[in-house]
Amino acid sequence: MPKEEHEMRNALEMPQSAIVLHGIAARVVRRIPSLADKLVNAGDVASFVRWQSASFDETVKLFWKREELWQQMSSHLDPTRPLFVLEFGVAWGYATEHWLTMLKRADVEWHGFDRFTGLPRGWRGLPDGEFDAGGQTPAIEDSRLTWHVGDVEDTLRDVDLAAAADAQWLVLFDLDLYEPTAEAWRVLSPMLKRGDLLYFDEAIDADERRVLDEMVLPSGRYSPIGATSLALGLKVTEPPSAD
C-alpha cells in the first residue's frame, strides 16, 4: 500500500479506546433498551460541557441544581440599584416564586411572559401544548410582579424597557424554543448594560444554544457565573453591540 494511503487509513481509524467504549454502549443498549435515552442525554451533557470550555476563557463553575445556580446569580445583584427582571417562560411559576422568595428587597420590578397555554410547537420529543397552565397565570400574590399573557413576540413590546434603563437587569430565558427566544433577544439586547445577568434554562439544547451561538456570544462579552447540566448563567461584561 502506498505510504499516503496507509497514513490516510490510519487517520480514519477509530482509536482503540473509542472502539471499546462504543462497543460497550451498543451492547448495553441492546440488552437494556431503556438506557438509550439516558446515554443520549449524557452525550448531550458532554457536548454542552465541551461547548462551555470552547466558549469561555474561564472554567465554568458547575452546580448540581438550578436553584443553587440562581443563588449564586443572586450574589451578583447590585443592592445599590433597583432590579428589573424579564422572565420569559413562566408555566406554573416555579422559578418566579423561587426567585421572588429569595429576593427580600422591595425595589424589584418583575415581568413574567407566557402564553400560559404551553409550547406553540413540539420540542425535544414533547408535543405542542406541553406546559399548558390552562391559560391561567400562577397564583402568586406579590406587588412586584406583572404578568404579560400571550405570545412574547407581541407582549414584550408592551413593556417600557427604556424606563428601566438605570436598573440592573436580570433576564431569565425558559421559552425552550428558538423563535421566541431569538425575538426576545432582538428586542431587549440593545438595552443591556455591563453587570446585567442572563440565565438560559436550556442552554444544553439546540434551540437556546443557537441563540447563544448566533446572537448572544458574538455580540458582546460575558463572564460565566455557572452552569448546571442543562442551564447557564452569565454576567454581561461588555454589552451587546448593535451590529
Binding positions for ligand SAM, rule: CB under 6 A: 89-91, 94-95, 113-115, 118-120, 131, 151-153, 174-177, 180
Q: How far is the CB of 71 from ligand SAM (least distance, A)?
A: 15
Contact 63, 149 (CB under 8 A): no
Contact 171, 144 (CB under 8 A): no
**99: Cβ contacts below 8 Å, ≥ 6 apart:** 70, 74, 85, 87, 110, 172
Q: How far is the CB of 15 from ligand SAM (least distance, A)?
A: 39
Q: How far is the CB of 209 from ligand SAM (least distance, A)?
A: 16
Nearer to ligand SAM among residue 89 and residue 240 (C-beta): 89
Nearer to ligand SAM among residue 98 and residue 221 (C-beta): 98
Phi and psi at residue 161, in whole multiples of 5°?
-65, -35
Nearer to ligand SAM among residue 66 and residue 220 (C-beta): 66
Q: How far apart are the first and last CA of the chain?
A: 53
Q: How far is the CB of 150 from ligand SAM (least distance, A)?
A: 7
Nearer to ligand SAM among residue 14 and residue 126 (C-beta): 126
Please report, as a single letter, which amino acid is at residue 228.
T
CA 66 and chain centroid, separation: 11
Nearer to ligand SAM among residue 73 and residue 119 (C-beta): 119
CA-CA distances (angstroms) from residue 72 to 61, 87, 232? 10, 18, 12
Phi and psi at residue 3, in whole multiples of 5°?
-60, -45
Please report, as a single letter, which amino acid is at residue 102.
M
Q: How far is the CB of 194 from ligand SAM (least distance, A)?
A: 26
Q: How far is the CB of 157 from ligand SAM (least distance, A)?
A: 13
